């Protein structure tokens, strides 16, 4: 089955700097890669996702890149703000399969004002 | 997303007791999921359902039972609670497999 690793487990950046979180997956059949943000005490919420037919996707200050050959994908947050502080989860799954999406263990991001 | 609600939000019970966590969604999503969240493990899938009367095991199903007699409800039952099942439980739904999952607010369950 799929296995998703995520690094780093914790990340601190100064406000305005960039943050990068990296994930690797094991199943080459995976073709759907969502990212979720979870603020303290709240529900996880989807912030961006990418499918294997594209290598990069951007949404304002957030971007995700995908390298299917190396089986890794990354979340990039530019011009970080204190409200970006949260736990971020990557996940991998198969879009057209009955199968479920497997989550990484999470990265706790702290943005220092 | 108010369309998916979990109850109760908090629950304290004792080992050996049966506990049922409720999940209700109003979007008519086909897929529903139960996760547990523990520090260092992220979100781990317990059970999922592709439609009414269709359920399947996830990564950590032992000790849990689910049912889905109606599309909008997906209750999770701990038949004989153990301390290791102390966790935060999230229910989620999606329109189809691998489409974005919408999560409920979670149930914080403590087993003494």
Taking the C-alpha atoms of residue B50 and residue B29, their distance in angstroms, rounded to an integer, is 9
Give Rg (Cα) of chain B: 13
A105: nearest CB among B40, B97, B100: B40
pLDDT at B98 over 80: no
Please report which confidence band the pLDDT of residue B91 belongs to, taking 50, 70 and 90 as the band edges.
very high
Question: Does the distance separating the beta carbons of A34 and B48 come in below 8 Å?
Answer: no
- Spell out where B1-112 has E strands: 4-7, 10-13, 19-25, 31-38, 42-51, 54-57, 64-66, 76-78, 87-94, 102-103, 107-111
Least CA distance to A31: which residue of chain B? B98
A101: nearest CB among B40, B50, B98: B98
Taking the C-alpha atoms of residue A6 and residue A83, their distance in angstroms, rounded to an integer, is 21
What are B77's two structure tokens?
């039952």
CB contacts, 8 Å: B30 with chain A:
none
Least CA distance to A94: which residue of chain B? B98
Q: In this structure, what is the dihedral angle of CA atoms A31, A71, A78, A6, given to the nearest 10 degrees?
A: 100
For B70-84, how does the pLDDT look when each residue is reduced to its tens digit (9 = 90+)?
999 999 999 999 999
**pLDDT score recorded for residue B78:** 97
B100: nearest CB among A6, A49, A102: A49
pLDDT at A1 over 90: no
B50: nearest CB among A34, A44, A98: A98
For A30-44, how does the pLDDT look when each residue is reduced to its tens digit (9 = 90+)?
999 999 999 998 999
pLDDT at A15 over 70: yes
**pLDDT score recorded for residue B54:** 92
pLDDT at B95 over 70: yes
**pLDDT score recorded for residue B1:** 52
For A49-105, how does the pLDDT look when each residue is reduced to its tens digit (9 = 90+)?
998 878 899 999 999 999 999 999 999 999 999 999 999 999 998 876 655 688 999
The number of beta carbons lying within 10 Å of the beta carbon of residue B17 is 12
**pLDDT score recorded for residue A99:** 57
CB contacts, 8 Å: A105 with chain B:
40-42
For B18-64, how does the pLDDT look when each residue is reduced to its tens digit (9 = 90+)?
999 999 999 989 999 999 999 877 899 999 999 999 999 988 999 99
Question: Does the distance separating the beta carbons of B103 and A100 come in below 8 Å?
Answer: no
**Which chain B residues touch A if contact means CB-CB below 8 Å?**
1, 33, 35, 40-45, 48, 50, 56, 58-59, 90, 97-98, 100-106
| CB B59 within 8 Å of CB B71 | no
Question: Does the distance separating the beta carbons of B48 and A100 come in below 8 Å?
Answer: yes
**pLDDT score recorded for residue B96:** 77
């Amino acid at each position: 089955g799929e296995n998703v690793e995520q690094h780093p487990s914790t990340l601190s950046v100064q406000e305005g700097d960039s943050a990068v979180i990296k994930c690797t997956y094991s199943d080459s059949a995976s073709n759907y890669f969502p990212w979720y943000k979870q603020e303290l005490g709240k529900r996880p919420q989807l912030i961006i996702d990418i499918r294997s037919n594209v290598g990069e996707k951007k949404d304002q200050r957030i971007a995700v890149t995908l390298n299917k050959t190396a089986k890794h994908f990354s979340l990039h947050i530019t011009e970080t703000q204190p409200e970006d502080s949260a736990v971020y989860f990557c996940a991998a799954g198969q879009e057209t399969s009955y199968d479920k999406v497997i989550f990484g263990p999470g990265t706790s991001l702290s943005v220092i004002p | 997303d108010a369309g998916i609600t979990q109850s109760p939000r908090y629950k304290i019970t004792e080992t050996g007791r049966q506990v049922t966590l409720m999940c209700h969604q109003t979007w008519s999503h086909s897929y529903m999921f139960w996760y547990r969240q523990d520090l260092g493990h992220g979100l781990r899938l317990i059970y999922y359902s592709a439609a009414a009367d269709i359920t399947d095991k996830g990564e950590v199903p032992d000790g849990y039972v689910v049912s889905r007699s109606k599309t909008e409800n997906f209750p999770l039952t701990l038949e004989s609670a153990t301390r290791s099942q102390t966790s935060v439980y999230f229910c989620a739904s999606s329109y189809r497999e691998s489409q974005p999952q919408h999560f409920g607010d979670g149930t914080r369950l403590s087993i003494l």
